[in-house]
Structure 1
């Protein structure tokens, strides 16, 4: 089965692209709008509605499968690709990628990705393009094999069919208190993100942040069902380093104080500081991890900024420069590399968190679930959007459907094996 045509359709991401540098500089908010001038290149305003571009592959049997391209919320920050430009990506897809797709053998997923994503004019293709096209190619392979996308990943990487659920992590956005209540009532595995992305939310010496962490823990005990004990995960967007200084020991001391305020909970702190480069980030995060481990702290460091591509993830994992690596799917590029990233983390005994962005779509979220389940990541993000209900249902329901299909397939195979044994014994 071959691809006989390629379709492109403009779309919307589920949230907004935000200029992180401008927000960090302290611009004010007027309702949902940030007031001030953008700082990051290609942003015409600080907050821009997220756009996406769908790529549809028309197969010789008439089936059309889709994938979605987009960037992450904080595009252009922390070494990431620039802001998504749908017009530019459309042109590049039509001129460069479409001819490759029409010529590629789609029966082997990893081989197809390698050929379609070869460099163009000695440059890697935009990661958003890789991300969307790799989703569509994964769906082609699943269609041809009459299987799930998870089974394709398991087959390509020689992995056993999974049986366990991957814990789901929800993010609150700015509607923190209401969304925390939703997460607790729905017994979310990991919560609440918190969007601690400004001095106002972090507070002088981190006091506002510490009070919020304690409130989340208290609220969990107040309204959560008996025995519910989620992981508490907060993304502080580098504000610990910005507020108290870029010194590893002081940052580790602060994180320990936060963890001490919520005994009985595992505390994940994402992006405690931005040290300005991948090399500096690895060196200093490794120091912070070592200090926390030596103290026996319940806190874990999660890396996000400066850890974007597969090679970045390899460097952080090998250096033990995090307890948990966020594999930010649109920044990694091809979903094949997301799978590789999880396996690299596992090889180095570092946690693998298949994340992504609120700017994604239902299609990209569902494809990510299959990769997360197949590789048995340590946790995965409920996406897209900044609401709890929609993202949790999209990711949670897809995971349950995948596992139900895999269990059915396993049961059918066991019955066939039993029947074969029965016939062999009587022949």
Structure 2
């Protein structure tokens, strides 16, 4: 390629996430909604109001040939909850990036992605970097490596992790937000692989003894039959934000009993239940979920437990996978940090026979969402989130189109290799 490309400068651009940051603790405590806002005082540190517009900070690597390569930093919707990093404060993130991260980037060798990430994202004063920074910087370094090698991001991951080039698409999971019925219809009409999330994040939505939630599950299954294409049979996935435990009780046996009843309501479907209970911290979550999983498995239930809260970093993912404390682990990319750790997280799940869900948040950006596709496809995760935003259509389009383009590129590469090999043989 001639001269070796280096990073000659780094530029920053403040921006917006695709949804909002919400104070989960305040919402769980029962604050009143007012239109799209919430009334009341925030509880989680850093929140000026219960719902705040999501922000992002883009980091651009100015290469020595003049090309500028971008990555986006941001946090998840429920920042500061479930053991996650605190709320994304753009001024603090920018200051830390300028003082600590940029000097490291200017001395990095872009040609080796894993080494570059290790160098730039190394601890500072004995502490890990803020995970939002690790997420955005690793995206930029991955794109730079792909630019240097003239390949896709997925091919860089396959090369660095010694994985075969993928051939199969990863199932896409869409989330409804509060506009449940309309968005469920959109998902069904678009034949989404996994749906609908449901946002069951309050007592009102869960209902006394969970009846409101159970009615919604039955309605989704019936709606699929009513308006879905013939043969369309998605996985049903509901995030209940700990409300089974809050309403039914925190005993794993009671939680398993309730989940079995929900599964019996929709016997023809695979049922994913995300965050059935929040046990408060990682160790109790690990023990409680392992017991719930064991009970469901012993009963032959078609329900699967998905862990999110208190399973954030790669270390957490490894703990839950090894303990069989979930059937599926959400690898929530901004909470995991570096995209390297997301890739490792999928591979750890696969090694332990646990489902790997490459997730994230509605508060992300189009740029981070497209990077997520390459990680999920390269590692052949079991499902990936349609993100960003809560409008359904946008996330399905961004994730679905990026996956389609990527698989077309990889198929083209394979066909060209076959032609070259045939020509070499005939020659």
Q: Classify the TM-score, shorter chain.
A: over 0.9
Structure 2: state its 5+ residue gaps.
none
Aligned to 1:372: 376
Please list the CA deviations of residues 354-381 of structure 1 after superposition, one character each: whole Å capped at 9, or x if unmatched.
0000000000000000000000000000
1-structure distance, mates of 2:268, 2:202: 28
Q: Does 1:114 align with 2:110?
A: no
Structure 1: state its 5+ residue gaps.
none
Aligned to 2:364: 360
SS in 1 for 2:102: helix
Please list the CA deviations of residues 72-117 of structure 1 after superposition, one character each: whole Å capped at 9, or x if unmatched.
0000001000000110010111111111001000101111000000
TM-score, with structure 1 as normaliser: 0.99
Structure 1 residue 420: deviation in Å? 1.3
2-structure distance, mates of 1:111, 1:241: 43
> What is the 5 A alignment of 1:26-37?
26-37=30-41
Structure 1 residue 249: deviation in Å? 0.3
Structure 1 residue 244: deviation in Å? 0.9
Structure 1 residue 15: deviation in Å? 0.2
Aligned to 2:196: 192
Aligned to 2:108: 104
2-structure distance, mates of 1:30, 1:92: 36
> What is the 5 A alignment of 1:80-91?
80-91=84-95
Structure 1 residue 186: deviation in Å? 0.2
1-structure distance, mates of 2:144, 2:405: 19
SS in 2 for 1:103: coil
Question: Which of 25, 30, 41 is the matching residue for 2:29?
Answer: 25
The CA RMSD over aligned residues, in Å, is 0.4
2-structure distance, mates of 1:223, 1:176: 15
Aligned to 1:2: 6
TM-score, with structure 2 as normaliser: 0.99
2-structure distance, mates of 1:33, 1:276: 27
Please list the CA deviations of residues 363-420 of structure 1 after superposition, one character each: whole Å capped at 9, or x if unmatched.
0000000000000000000000011100000000000000000000011111111111
2-structure distance, mates of 1:268, 1:257: 13
Aligned to 2:415: 411
Aligned to 1:278: 282
Question: Which of 228, 231, 234 is the matching residue for 2:235?
Answer: 231
Please list the CA deviations of residues 265-314 of structure 1 after superposition, one character each: whole Å capped at 9, or x if unmatched.
00000000001111111111011111111111110000000000000000
Aligned to 1:66: 70
1-structure distance, mates of 2:15, 2:280: 33
SS in 1 for 2:18: strand
Structure 1 residue 421: deviation in Å? 1.3
Aligned to 1:299: 303
| Matched positions, count | 423
> What is the 5 A alignment of 1:17-416?
17-416=21-420
Question: Which of 15, 18, 43 is the matching residue for 2:19?
Answer: 15
